[in-house]
Structure 1
Amino acid sequence: MNKQVLIAGGGIGGLAAAIAAARADWDVRLFERAGQFSEVGAGIQLGPNVVRCLQAWGLQRPLQRVIASPGALRACSAITGRELGHLPLGMDSVHRYGAAYATIHRADLHALLLEALQEQPSVHLNLNQFVSSYAESDGVVTIRTSGNKLIEGDALIGADGVRSKVRAQMLDDGPPRITGHLAYRAMVHQAQLPKRLRTGDVTAWLGPHLHAIQYPVRRGELQNLVVIVQGPAPEDLDQWDHSANLPDLLVHLKGTCSYLQDLVQHVPDAGGEWRLWPVADRVPLASPRQMAQGLVALLGDAAHPMRPYLAQGAGMAIEDAAELQGALSMHDLDVSLRLRRYALNRWQRNARVQERSLRNGRIFHATGLVRWGRDLSLRMLGSRLMDVPWLYRGNN
């Protein structure tokens, strides 16, 4: 009889964990708070390290149907509009790292994972339920759901996001920290933009105390646009997603180049609307016990929420799941040892990505002499500075 894993959370991390566990020959029961599986309209960058994980799960063909394949990663000045650095992607990425650099609509990735999961007979999906607490005893973990049901399993994976209830019980380390960074996000139809505002690349616009990212998704039909600024969140911003006000964003963008301001102002005309997320994170991981204890493990944002300055939040969750599959497949080991092995193999890499994300944020938003030095370095060494071999090769 197969062992049973209980998974809290039906986002990308939870679905990836469920695929991994099913492929390791475990029965899976997944619990999702919402009444349906869905994702909001935002984009995700998938480095070759992540694409290789999805390929290993047999998802290359469905992935190809929905991704965009950017030609380059570009860094530009948000003030002057000039290009500072350039890293070729496309086949260059395939040759260097064995997989493409892809961009995808979050809803498309979610749907792709869900479809793959629904083909697994050992998986049971439970909507309108979340894991409110758990207890361990005699080699069994028992969860209590929001419907006050008690359900037993052999392991519990907390993939329930940045405000994880599983993490709260396991680590009791308080809420995530509010970073003082706000992310304005929009998704638009490229065909409804003037040609000069369309893109087939990933472009980062770097400015004092802010930066913007634009890139294509869904075969290039849509463009994802994110502007991250520094400043206090509105007082009523107590949820993770709120309608944003274009005039407020334009105040933050005062003094930036005409291209960026034109792009931002064309969002409503191109079928988009601005949404606002306060960016939350935690300090980088310091030990494997922050990812697994006993029969309980954390995955994705529940374990290591990070600032979006390395574009690896979803990627690290998928890498976590791939490592979890290997650990759960060690059938000669006790379950607690398998989860400990998972944590030992993941925590340092996740911590490094968290730290690099923090560093990138300081560089992206630099002012004064630091900004001058950044721009000069990018002009002289752009492709070397923008490439991240240790990340894309999958090494620590």
Structure 2
Amino acid sequence: MSPSSSTPFLVTGGGIGGLAAALALARAGHAVRLLERAPEFAEVGAGLQVGPNASRVLDRLGVLDAVTATAFFPTRLTLRDALSGQRLASLDTGDSFRERFGYRYFVAHRADLHRALLVACEESGLVELIPGKEVAEIAEDHAGTRVRCADGSEFTADALVAADGLYSPARRLLIDDGDPVDSGYVAYRGTVPIEALTPQGGLREPDGMVIWVGPSLHLVQYPVRNGRLCNQVATIDTRRYTAHAGDLDAQLHAAFADTCPDVQAGIALLDTSRRWPMLDRSPALGWSRGSITLVGDAAHPMLQYLAQGACQAIEDGAALADAVDEHPGDTEAAFKAYETVRAPRTSRVQTTARKWGEVLHVDGIGRDLRAALLAARTTTDYDVVDWLYGHNAGTAA
């Protein structure tokens, strides 16, 4: 297709959400053109967690084996007190978990998941991938949608699927809700060789995923790349830990100064050259209008506490493709059906992520109450996560 030719579906944003949506549409037989603003298709970041709700979709799309080839399957998810080192609770993710949800919980490098989706799109024969196209203007008329890029090129399509992230230009066109919400927390992320941690005792559970929780801070650790690397995410509330503000390294280490040796060993190895503010938005309706709809962070950005940002974007792709198939030739009806199914689901994930962040970061009597309540839970008590991991994405789910 030439840039001036129209295509049934135009996807903006070549991250995990955009690729998943494009691939889901392609698997259903639809031609897709995908625009990415960066000069090449690549994923930034380190590790990510994938629950069974997303694994189902990846399996359906035919990429699960490629993704899990270098993934790590933890035997349990563990919550520990960052100050005392005490184990607060564990959730078994082995055989009983797989029997319950049909798939194991796994952790992977973001680049590996992105690459698997990218290759599948390339091999589908129905997805045209075009990098170096920053969207400057979006216009809609009776014939569909027109996108003008910063370099002057224009693309037209019957329908636009915007997977262009937290600051989505398409969202600004559809929903007037201002800037994202800044939680006050920031995250430091990175991977280190697993052997750099274990000699120091910094990886307490090498076969599991651990969240060390403390007052207004936490550290997540889990192996990736078949256990060769450890992904670490340290999070602090900059409103509480104000010492050394502006010095990324000093502020992080001051915040974690009272944590146990296991945690401090991990913190000592973190890259402090960059950190990410933790932003989200309150749930909102109106993602879909006419021939335009949103997926992933463009529609429902969420805090990271449930590890569901990428998972929900992947679910979006499956539900979108199903809605299109259920409303052949009627893009507006398909997009409305897609939002009707997805909005309650993603709204619950967004709001629950905020609440879970509060639980992780309590102090004082709240910290003691959390320990007491969690102590009563068994390792195979899956009732609390049934709604999250048992979900089967699609318009009939």
Q: Same fold (TM over 0.5)?
A: yes
Name the CA distance, whole Å, in 2 between partners of 1:146 and 1:159.
18
Unaligned segments of structure 1, at least 5 residues: 235-242
Unaligned segments of structure 2, at least 5 residues: 1-5
Name the CA distance, whole Å, in 2 between partners of 1:123 and 1:374.
48
Superposition deviation, residue 319 in structure 1: 0.4
1:228 aligned onto 2:231: no
Superposition deviation, residue 330 in structure 1: 2.5
Quick one: structure 1 residues 382 and 354, their matched pair in 2 at CA, closer, same or farther if it must change by over 3 Å?
farther
Report what 1:197 is aligned to: 202
8 A Cα contact 2:12 2:161, kept in partner: yes
Amino acid at match of 1:301: D
Q: Classify the secondary structure of the residue corresponding to 1:390.
A: helix
Q: 2:186 aligns with which of 175, 182, 185?
A: 182
Superposition deviation, residue 207 in structure 1: 0.5
Name the CA distance, whole Å, in 2 between partners of 1:295 and 1:252.
48
Quick one: structure 1 residues 65 and 279, their matched pair in 2 at CA, closer, same or farther if it must change by over 3 Å?
same
Superposition deviation, residue 232 in structure 1: 5.0
1:364 aligned onto 2:360: yes
Amino acid at match of 2:175: L
Report what 1:76 is aligned to: 80
Superposition deviation, residue 293 in structure 1: 1.1
1:66 aligned onto 2:70: yes
How do 1:374-389 residues align onto structure 2 when only pairs under 5 Å count? 374-381=370-377, 383=379, 384=381, 387-389=384-386
8 A Cα contact 2:327 2:333, kept in partner: no
- TM-score, length basis structure 2: 0.91
Report what 1:251 is aligned to: 254
8 A Cα contact 2:280 2:303, kept in partner: yes
Superposition deviation, residue 85 in structure 1: 0.6
Q: Classify the secondary structure of the residue corresponding to 1:194.
A: helix
Superposition deviation, residue 248 in structure 1: 2.1
Superposition deviation, residue 392 in structure 1: 0.4
8 A Cα contact 2:161 2:294, kept in partner: yes
Please list the CA deviations of residues 212-252 of structure 1 after superposition, one character each: whole Å capped at 9, or x if unmatched: 11111111111111111111599xxxxxxxx9843321111
Q: Structure 1 residues 147-156 or 79-88, which shifts more?
A: 147-156
1:310 aligned onto 2:309: no
Name the CA distance, whole Å, in 2 between partners of 1:27 and 1:78.
50
1:277 aligned onto 2:284: no
8 A Cα contact 1:244 1:274, kept in partner: no
Amino acid at match of 1:219: N
Report what 2:345 is aligned to: 349
Identity %: 38
Report what 1:122 is aligned to: 126
8 A Cα contact 2:188 2:272, kept in partner: no
Name the CA distance, whole Å, in 1 between partners of 2:265 and 2:191.
15
Quick one: structure 1 residues 233 and 153, their matched pair in 2 at CA, closer, same or farther if it must change by over 3 Å?
farther
How do 1:6-25 residues align onto structure 2 when only pairs under 5 Å count? 6-25=10-29
1:391 aligned onto 2:395: no
- TM-score, length basis structure 1: 0.91
Please list the CA deviations of residues 325-349 of structure 1 after superposition, one character each: whole Å capped at 9, or x if unmatched: 1112235351110111111110000
Name the CA distance, whole Å, in 1 between partners of 2:210 and 2:166.
27
8 A Cα contact 2:7 2:156, kept in partner: no
8 A Cα contact 1:32 1:127, kept in partner: yes
